[in-house]
Amino acid sequence: MKEGYAGPEKREFLRLDYTVPLSYKVCKRQTISKLLEGYTADISSNGLLCNIKDRVKKDDILWLCFDRATLSIYSDLEKRALIYQGGIIAKVVRIEAKDDDGYNVGVQFITREEINMTHVYPKIHFFEGTKNEE
């Protein structure tokens, strides 16, 4: 049996256990019209850990939709994160395969200041072309 890490917390932001259903889209031309489902596991004002069945890649940009109204950090999310069509835009920063063929995926919320960065905008622009397709 493994013992847990007993040292100081390495994370910059406090994480809260938060399990709710989650809908998401991967911001790529071939996948943007597919609404996928999973659930959240924990959340901070900077990102969240979600459990999903579909494989994503590190640095993929995701559109995430979940109930944020009950969160105590909701106002921080609204101030910092890029909100688009009711969902939060985030970047995949960590992927861990689970025993049940699913994945634990850590995402970092994209901030409003990051939207114009060259590695983010080209992936998000796919939303603009899909409004009439869905």
Q: Which residue has the higher pLDDT, 112 or 2?
A: 112
pLDDT-wise least confident of 49-58, 60-69, 84-93, 108-117: 108-117
> Can you give the pLDDT at residue 55?
92
Q: pTM of this prediction?
A: 0.75
CA torsion angle 103 34 110 87 (round to 10): -110
Residue 7 lies in a domain: no
* φ/ψ bin of 17: left (φ > 0), alpha (ψ from -120 to 50), beta (otherwise): beta
Q: What whole-number percentage of the chain has pLDDT above 70?
A: 68
- The verdict on residue 97 lying in a domain is yes
Give the structural domain span for 59.
16-130
CATH number of domain containing 36:
2.40.10.220
Does residue 106 fall inside a structural domain? yes
Does the residue 5 lie in any domain?
Answer: no
- pLDDT tens-digit profile of 73-129? 666 677 778 888 888 899 999 999 998 889 999 999 988 777 655 455 555 555 554
Q: Distance of CA 4 to CAs 1, 7, 125, Å?
A: 10, 9, 42
Token pair of 111, please?
A: 């901030």
* Total domain count, the chain: 1
Q: Is residue 52 one of the residues assigned to a domain?
A: yes
